[in-house]
Each structure stands twice: as structure tokens, then as C-alpha cells.
Structure 1
Amino acid sequence: MTDTTRDRAAIILAAGKGTRMKSDLPKVMHPVGGRPMVDWSIDLAREVGCSRIIVVVHPSQSVLIDHVKALLGEGCIAFQDPPQGTGHAVRCGEAALKGFAGDLVVLYGDSPLVPASAIEDLFAALGTGAALGVLGFEAETPGLYGRLILSDDGDLDAIVEAREATPDQLAVTLCNSGVMAGDADTMFRLLGKVTNTNAKGEYYLTDLVGLARAEGATCKAVQCGEEDLIGCDSKADLAEAEAIFQARRRTAAMDSGVTLVAPETVYFAHDTVLEADVVVEPNVVFGPGVHVHGGARIRAFSHIEGAEIASGCMVGPYARLRPGTVLETDVHIGNFVETKNTRMGKGAKASHLAYLGDGQIGASVNIGAGTIFCNYDGFLKYETKIGEGAFIGSNSALVAPVQIGKGAIVGSGSVVTKDVPANALAVARGQLVQREGWAISFRTRKSAEKAGSTQKD
């Protein structure tokens, strides 16, 4: 957490219904990089050292409310009902910050890519004597964005909405992101002066700049990239934010020594960790909670989530590793193998067509093709344990709870329902029955039946 000389707090605006998302899920709960957008804003507030974080929501957003309470606790929710603009939303958080003395930053729950460095720059501007700091960006196409109008000395003189701007002001490309910081007491005092005498009848946070300037206070504009400040109001916006996030993570991974054979086909989660000398082949998806150690190779078309993969491992192609998977050094997971909540010891192999759920697999174990851990009885999950050096023949079903001893061999096609001792052979399948010449008589009989059926037709 960043050291600060003044306490810091954040109010995150998240009460918007997000009608353009066309979804029952609250807008800020839609994910970018595998986690809800509001989590990005909460994490940003934490990263810049905010000791108090308030999320402003609408009372109808029960999914969002429960989610935020689980992250921040009961006292971190404020309600806005009905919505009356950004200024009104910030005022709704005032009571939740009662007794706070320090700097306040206003963030947005639908802006997942804002860098911590930009917020630090805002707070730094306050440290130079500015009453308010506003985060802006140079827009390629300014459109309907509010314009940040600077004075000759570079201070922020005003925020002008596009609909109210003069032609000269419309030519300005420095635009308002909506992110603002200032002394909390000052911001709330100025908000008390904001009116809703405008076309929308709303209370605008942007009016604070004009009010502060009218009192002779200094305001500052801080800039960062346009991509950093993308807000997601629609599924198209969400896809654009995801694309920006993925492009940045791919570049960061390669810069850190990871080989991405076809970078544009690899997808990361927000917390994916790939160490130097990991090789990732095309069309690999990393869900949340993945750590791949250096020297491992992830082959094409694999899906990995909630897994730790040690050095020397080979995973895929077409493998699926689900949460709770731990692969120790030099493990091989082949095509169409699925693991879940299973640890595989050093050098263990499951080369093809297996389901390994809720298992403990020892070092150097070989799992044959078609092997299944039968871990669920319709009510509870059970564990399968396989000792070091055991061999499980192809097309075997291990019915948990069951243990296969060290060095044991399970014959192909076995259904194992009892523990197998170390170094034992276990074969559990029906006895082979042979009838000499039966196939000839079978074919003769069936050929006659078919001929008779054809004549009748």
C-alpha cells in the first residue's frame, strides 16, 4: 500500500442500471479479465492507499450489494435512489464517510483499466495546493465528452459539456473522464452548492470545478491514456475493454520472458502468473487462479483455471485443468484429460482421455487412457489416492473412496471398488467366454434373415 501523508478515501459510483448492457446482471458486475469491473475499482482504491472505500449502489442491485459486502463489509455501501446525477451520487456517500478527514477520490465501477499511477498523480496535484484534481485524456474523437478548459498557466479553468460548448471549446481534445479528487470536506461543501438547473435536471460532479474557481481556488488536470479510461456501458464496450486488457497482458507476459507462439489467441485472467521460460502454444485460455512455473509448456487448445503447474510440466493439447489442480515437476497431462482438485506427483503421467477428480496421485504414476475417478455418488465427493509408481491400466474406473498402493498395477478395464495393496495386481472385470465357430453360424443366420427381409419388401 502506498505511503501517504494524508488519509485517503474513495467513493465508487456503481448505481447505474446499465440498460444498454441488456442484462439482468448489474452493469459493474460484468467481468473484464475474469473478475467483475467493480472489483477493479475497489482494488485500485486499495492500491493507492484508501483506508475507506464506499460503493454507491441502487437498492435493487442485490447481487452487487451482496458482492460488495463480502469484499468490504456492511459499512461500505451507500444507496442512491432515485439516481439524480454524479454529484448526487457522491453526496449519497457522504454519510458513510462521516468523521473522515483527508483526501477523497471519486471512481467509477464501470472503468476497469484506470492505472494507479494516474490516481497517484491526482493526489500529488492536491499536494501542490490544488483544491481539486480532475483526470482527463486526449481523445482521438472528442464527440460528446466534456472538455477540460485550461488557463494560460496550465491550471484547470472549467469543465464544459459538449452540448454547451462554443466552437472554440469544441475544438479542445482534452476531455473529462469523470474521475476527480479533492479534500473530502471541501468536496462535500461544494456539492451542497450544486443545483440541478440543467437540461437533465441532475446534479453534476463537474460543477465543482466552477464553484471552486469562483472561490479563487486552483484546480488541476491530470492526463492519462484514452484507453485507460474506457467506461463500459454496453457489451460492445465490454468487449473493447477486454481486448485492451488482453493485449496489454500478452505484451507484459512476453516482455517478462514468456513465449507466446500465437499471442493473439491466448487469453489471460486478471491474476494469471506465467514465469519466464513458460511456452504457451496457440488457443490457450487461462481462467482465474493460475500459476505456471518456468520451463513448463502449455500446448494448444487447453483451458486452465485455478491450477498450479510446476517447471518441466507438459499440459495438452486439448487439456482441461480445473480449480484445485496441482502438478508437481515434470508431470505430463495429455489430450482430452480433465483434472479437478487433484495433485499429481513428480513425473506422473495421464497422457490421454481421462477424468481425474478429487485425487492424490503419487510420483511416477502412469494413468492409462480412459481412466475415470468415480468421485461422486450423487450426494458427496470422495477421494482417490494412488501410491508412487503405480500403474493404472486403460479404461479403468476407480470408485472413490479408494486407495491404490505404491507400485500396484490395475489391469485394463477394471472397476476398482476396494483398496489395492502395494505392489499387488488388481483385475476386476468379467471373465472372457469363447465359443469356437460361433461367428460363422451367426453370420450365416443373419445373412439369411436379411435376404428374407429383402424379398418381402
Structure 2
Amino acid sequence: MSANSPTAVVVLAAGEGTRMKSALPKVLHEICGRSLVGHVLAASGELDPGQIVAVVGHKHEEVEAHLATFAPDVRTALQPTQNGTGHAVRMGLEELAGGTGSPVSGTVIVVCGDTPLLTGATLRALNDTHAADGNAVTVLTAEVPDATGYGRIVRDGVSGAVTAIVEHKDASESQRAIREINSGVFAFDGQLLTDALGKVRTDNSQGEEYLTDVLGILREAGHRVGASVAADHREIAGINNRVQLAEARRTLNDRLLTAAMLAGVTVVDPATTWVDATVSFEQDAVVHPGTQLQGATHIGEGAEVGPNTRLKDTSVGAGARVDNTVADGAEVGEQASVGPFAYLRPGTRLGTKAKAGTYVEMKNASIGEGTKVPHLSYVGDATIGEYSNIGAASVFVNYDGEAKHHTTVGSHCKTGSDNMFVAPVTVGDGAYTAAGSVITKDVPPGSLAVARGQQRNIDGWVARKRPGSAAAKAAEAASRKPDSEA
């Protein structure tokens, strides 16, 4: 916590969000790899506050479980009945005070849990304005094209000071014409906030405690009420339905891609490229159309991914190429090649210059430097050394119906097409296996393993068993040809 950091941030996350028409609490809906409240907490954390408390209510057990995983240091306060934003903040302050009833000193920032586009930079500007102007409360505002549904900022006509915030349903016709709106985000003097909340009344259309009434209470008491205007009104947009959820996802995705491109990443078609907030890139990475990058995915310098690729929690090394691929929890080494149409499952590790080719699936497999699995193969629970080649249509048979078993193939091995490696089995360094073999025993280094039946030709079988067929006629015609024409 730095000298100018707020004492606490209170995140309002108790609402049901009925317009989402969902069994999932509104604040747990996700965009770009995080829940709505997760984005708010990430922005709040950039302030380095002393404490963060999330006020929960509707399906609070689910929200608390999510917070315990995403942000275990965040405290929670229960608002058992949703009696308004003022009541919610009171619950948060009581949690911060540890049930002592003592006021919280210093600056308290209040944010809404459904504003995923809010940035740490805007919160810092609010906090700095609040401190520099010596305000009792500073409200984050924005000018919006359509203010319907938002609380309006009412200012003094002479000084421009904020005199009140009027909810849309309580506003007069002239007030509804105002386009500057309340974001629901505030910086308060903690002690003054605690005192003012005790004076908030419920004589409004909803019979609720409005946090916005605190501004009028403090102003009437002679305290300064100020405002900090957000540079981009989209930052303060709350999410109330699935349409707004999709709009926010598009806006945030564009923001993330713009930052990546300005940092030296080529995004060929931003309109069809989707990334999570937790994805990272290095310079000169290239992302082709139809690509989704999720979770903790990292794209190395000069690597190319896509088109039509989905990577989750996957690292792609410098200079690697990943084409038409799905990967989850995989590591792709430098200058490695994956796809097209490959599937890398968790635990897959491709070494430098390794290859997982067309229609190859891998799971919990370690592939050494320069090793190639070019096509039509499944490699599961396996370790393959360096500069080996796995023939087409090979299967690592790892499951006996009860347990998974491991296969080891050494370095500089050449295995034939249509091989099956029945685990547990080891193929030694430099060994070969013949095409069509089912390898059930260990193969010593430098050996050739042949595990297939001998070929037997039965002359005249077609003529006897399929007389008159096209095959029989073709065979008869071929038998009449001179040897030089056959």
C-alpha cells in the first residue's frame, strides 16, 4: 500500500441481475477470461488498497466460492436483503471495521461489480482528484449518448459543483435531459461516509437506501462534493442483460487487441480474433483470422498462430507455427510445428523444432527436440526422445480399462506406419519398428521390431468366391495379358 493508496475498496456484488435471465449470479458471467466482478477486482487491485471487501447477497455462496479461487485476499460482507446501494456499503464498512462499529479512516473507494470495462487508470484518476481537491466525496461521472436508466449528475449552475445525483425513476423531465451520469463509482472520506450513511432515508420510489443521497447529506453539512469525469464513457457501462454483455466483450476484446498491436503484434483480422485479458504476447507474433486465445496463453516472439485455432493456457515458443489447432494446457517449443487439425491436450510438451502434424492428438506427452509425429496418430502418456519419427496412423495404447500406462520411445528412432505401442513398453534409442506392428514388448536399442503375421496369398479366391463380379472379370482379363503387359 503506497502513501496515496485508498484505505479500502468496497465492491458491490450483491444484486440478482434478473434481466440476465440466468441461474448464474450476474457478477459471475464472464467476458475475456474473467468474471465481471473479476475484472472489477483486477482494476481495483491496481490502486494497491489496504483492503478490498466485496458485498455479496444473491446466491452469495457461489460468489464467495468464486472469490475464494480468483481473489482469496478479498474479504466478503453479506447483504442478506438487497435494500439499496447505501445499505450495501454499510454492510461493507461493518466488515472493514470488524464489527466494532468504528468508522473507517482514510479514503474508501466504492465500485460496482458489473462494470468490467473500468480501468485501474480511471480509478487512480478518481483517487488522485479526490485527494488533491480535498473532497468529502468524489463521484466518477461520464457524458453518455443515451442516459436512460442512469442517475443524473445535477450541478450548480454557477460554480459547476455537484449538488445532487437523481435516479432516473425519480428525475424530473428537465433532469432526465442531462447527459452526465453517475457511474456508481465514488471516492469517500471514510469517517464522513460512515456518519452520513446513518442519515440516509428510504422515502423514495423503491423504499431503498440510496448511496447517492450521501452526496446531498455531505453537501448540506458544508463538505466538498466533487467529480472526476471518465475519458471514455464505455468504461462505466454496467451489464444488465446478455446484449450488454456481448457489447462489453467486443469492446474489451478490441481494447486488448489494440494494446497488443501497438506493442508489436500483428493481428491479421481483429474482427475474428478473440483474446482473454490474461493472454500475453512477444514482439512480432502473428495472429491469423479465426483464432481464440484463452487463459494464461503466451505467444512467443515471431510465432504464428491460426487461422482457426483455439489455445487455452498454452505457451507457444519463439518462431513456432500453430495452424488450425486446438490446444489446452500445452507447451509448444521454439520453431516447433503444430497442425493443421491437431489437438494438444493437457500435459503435452513439444520440444524445439518438434512436430505434431495433421490429425495428430497428444495428451500428457513429452516430445523431444526435432522429433516428428507427422499425421493421423494418437500419442498419450508417452515420452519420445530427440530426432525420432513416428509413422502415420500410430496409436499409443495407454489405457487398459482400469489405469493409464506410459510408453517411452528413445532418441533417433524410426517407427513404422500403423504401429500400436501397448503400454507399458519401451523402445530403445536408435530402434526401428516395422509397419503394421503391435509392439507389446520392450525393443532393445538399435533393434528392428516386427510384430505382425506373415502374408499369405490364396490364388483364384475371387473367381471361386465372387464369380461374375467386376473384380472377377478384371482378374480374368489381367490373367490373359502377356507378362510384358501385366
TM-score when normalising by structure 2? 0.86
Q: Which has more radius of gyration?
A: 2
Instruction: Please list the CA deviations of residues 178-203 of structure 1 after superposition, one character each: whole Å capped at 9, or x if unmatched.
Output: 11111112111101100111111000
Q: TM-score, normalised by structure 1?
A: 0.91
Residue 73 of structure 2 corresponds to residue 79 of structure 1: no
Out of 393, 399, 420, the position equivalent to 1:415 is 420
Aligned match of 1:19: 18
What whole-Å deviation, never above 9, does each CA across 1:345-398 have from its counterpart, x for those lacking one? 11111221111110111011010311112x4xxxxxxx3100001110001112
1:339 to partner: Cα distance: 0.8
Among 136, 158, 167, the residue aligned to 1:161? 167
Corresponding residue number in structure 2 for 1:436: 459
Flag the 1:6–1:358 CA change in 2: closer, same or farther, 3 A: closer
**Distance in structure 2 (CA, Å) of the matches to 1:6 and 1:353:** 53
Residue in 2 that maps onto 1:351: 357
Q: Secondary structure in 1 aligned to 2:110?
A: strand
How many angstroms apart in 2 are the aligned matches of 1:423 and 1:129?
76
Q: Determine the structure 2 residue equivalent to 1:242.
A: 249
Alignment of 1:276-355 (within 5 A): 276-316=283-323, 318-323=324-329, 325-340=330-345, 341-355=347-361
Aligned pairs, how many?
A: 437
Counterpart CA distance in 1 for 2:173 and 2:277 is 42
Q: Is the 8 A contact 1:284 1:301 kept in 2?
A: yes
Tell me how far 1:410 sits from its aligned partner: 1.3
Aligned to 2:389: 391
Going from structure 1 to structure 2, the CA distance change for 1:94 and 1:406 (only over 3 Å counts) comes to same
Instruction: Identify which of 119, 125, 130 aligns with 1:126.
Output: 130
1:31 equivalent to 2:30? Answer yes
Corresponding residue for residue 483 of structure 2:
none
- Map 1:148-297; keep pairs closer than 5 Å: 148-151=153-156, 152-224=158-230, 225-297=232-304
In structure 2, the partner of 1:369 is 375
Q: Identity over aligned residues, as a percent? A: 30
Partners of 1:7 and 1:303 lie apart in 2 by: 40
User: C-alpha displacement at 1:74, in angstroms?
Assistant: 8.2
Tell me the secondary structure at the aligned position of residue 149 of structure 1. strand
Distance 2:466 2:276 in 1: 58
Tell me: CA distance 1:444–1:167, structure 2 relative to 1, closer, same or farther (3 Å).
Answer: same
Q: Which residue of 1 aligns with 2:484?
A: none
Report the equivalent of 1:380. none
What is the root-mean-square deviation of aligned Cα atoms in Å? 1.9
SS in structure 2 opposite 1:200?
Answer: coil
TM superposition shift of 1:141: 1.1
Q: How far apart are the structure 1 equivalents of 2:66 and 2:248?
A: 22
1:249-300 Cα offsets, whole Å, 9 max, x none, are 2222222221122110000011111222111111011111110011111121
Shift in alpha-carbon separation, 1:111–1:441, aligned structure 2, 3 A: farther
For 1:114, the equivalent position in structure 2 comes to: 118
Given the superposition, is the C-alpha separation of residues 5 and 251 from structure 1 closer, same or farther in structure 2, using an over 3 Å criterion?
Answer: closer
Letter in 2 for 1:92: M
Q: Is the deviation greater in 229-238 or in 97-106?
A: 97-106
Aligned equivalents of 1:277, 1:332: Cα separation in 2: 17
**2:6–2:127 CA contact under 8 A, matched in 1:** no
Stretches of structure 2 lacking an aligned partner (at least 5 in a row): 399-405, 439-451, 472-486
Moved over 6 A (4+): 445-448
Query: C-alpha deviations, 1:68-105, integer Å up to 9, x for none?
Result: 13344487111111110110111111221016432111
